[in-house]
């Protein structure tokens, strides 16, 4: 089974539901997505826009998937302000980002919490996008491998090989997120290769050939081709650029 490339626009805490409707419509006008059978295109609006974006996707039969940016790990309960995986699945959400560095940093999410969320996403029959990455200090201290290797092992803890292969792993060096400092293709490719080998050590070499590993960190129309040319990079998680439908469409056009 060949790995199909994957690109997800993470809109973060941007766009009202009305703006989000316009963004997904503009994206679809700029792309003839029927031509994009080499890549799976997904957008991750804020919770308040999921329902509206889902309605547009369904009404216009757009080949665009819907992702959530986070979830709680339980189905329901007294957790004011939280949203459950079951609620997301009912909205036709297909993917959920877990462990984004902004959640780790600003909301204190640790590996155990992220592992709980990841398993809950899978239990609700959605695909987790597990984010991991090192800080600049860690990279300079040559600790990239120990950091992301540890995050990978903890994030996938308790999964069988069949389950683990369904996770999308997103290598996102923290120093490259929202900074304009993209990792070089070699840096990104080497890290993704390291993650694939680590995945193979844990779940078997044949499984590692199938798991999708994507890169995130200041991806744009100018650097997508060089990043995607790397054998072990299977797509991208795109923040800032995905807020501009023109720029996001130009990035996705790499796959035509």
**Does 217 participate in binding ligand PEP (rule CB under 6 A)?**
yes
* Token pair 């490339």 in the structure block, residue: 5
Contact between residue 138 and residue 176 where contact means Cβ atoms under 8 Å apart: no
The region of 25-33, 55-63, 144-152, 211-219 touching ligand PEP under the rule CB under 6 A is: 211-219
- Of 169, 237, 249, 252, the one binding ligand PEP by CB under 6 A: 237
DSSP strands (E only) in 73-150: 95-98, 127-132
- Of 7, 10, 23, 144, the one binding ligand PEP by CB under 6 A: 10
**Does 69 participate in binding ligand PEP (rule CB under 6 A)?**
no
Sign of the alpha-carbon dihedral angle for 158, 128, 168, 11: negative
Q: Whose Cβ is closer to ligand PEP: residue 187's or residue 208's?
A: 187
String of contacts with ligand PEP for each residue 123-162, x by CB under 6 A: ----------------------------------------
Contact between residue 63 and residue 99 where contact means Cβ atoms under 8 Å apart: no
Determine whether 127 is exposed, middle or buried from the number of CB atoms within 10 Å of its CB (0-12, 13-18, 19+): buried
Burial 168-180 (b: 16+ CB within 10 A, else e): bbbbbbbbbbeee
**Does 238 participate in binding ligand PEP (rule CB under 6 A)?**
yes
Among the listed residues 100, 109, 138, 232, the single catalytic one is 100
Q: Whose Cβ is closer to ligand PEP: residue 179's or residue 206's?
A: 179
Determine whether 125 is exposed, middle or buried from the number of CB atoms within 10 Å of its CB (0-12, 13-18, 19+): exposed
Q: Whose Cβ is closer to ligand PEP: residue 52's or residue 182's?
A: 182
Which residue of the chain is nearest ligand PEP when measured via CB? 239
Is 145 among the residues known to form the active site?
no
Is 100 among the residues known to form the active site?
yes
* Token pair 């092992």 in the structure block, residue: 153
Given the rule CB under 6 A, which residues bind ligand PEP?
10, 172, 177-178, 216-219, 237-241
Annotated catalytic residues are 100, 172
């Amino acid at each position: 089974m060949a790995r199909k490339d994957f690109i997800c626009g993470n809109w973060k805490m941007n766009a009202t539901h009305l703006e989000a409707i316009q963004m997904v419509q503009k994206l679809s006008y700029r792309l003839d997505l029927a031509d994009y059978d080499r890549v799976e295109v997904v957008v991750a609006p804020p919770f308040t826009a999921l329902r509206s974006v889902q309605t547009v996707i369904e009404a216009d039969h757009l080949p665009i998937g819907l992702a959530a940016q986070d979830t709680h790990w339980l189905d329901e309960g007294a957790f004011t302000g939280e949203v459950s995986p079951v609620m997301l699945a009912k909205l036709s959400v297909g993917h959920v980002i877990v462990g984004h560095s902004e959640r780790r940093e600003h909301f204190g999410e640790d590996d155990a919490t992220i592992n709980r969320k990841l398993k809950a996403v899978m239990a609700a029959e959605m695909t987790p996008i597990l984010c991991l990455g090192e800080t600049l200090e860690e990279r300079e201290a040559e600790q990239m491998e120990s950091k992301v290797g540890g995050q990978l092992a903890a994030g996938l803890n308790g999964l069988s090989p069949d389950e683990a292969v369904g996770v999308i792993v997103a290598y996102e060096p923290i120093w490259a997120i929202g900074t304009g400092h993209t990792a070089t293709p070699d840096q990104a490719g080497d890290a993704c290769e390291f993650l694939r080998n680590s995945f193979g050590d844990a779940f078997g070499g044949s499984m590692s050939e199938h798991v999708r590993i994507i890169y995130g960190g200041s991806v744009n129309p100018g650097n997508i081709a060089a990043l995607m040319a790397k054998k072990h990079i299977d797509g991208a998680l795109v923040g800032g650029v995905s807020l501009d439908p023109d720029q996001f469409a130009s990035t996705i056009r790499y796959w035509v």
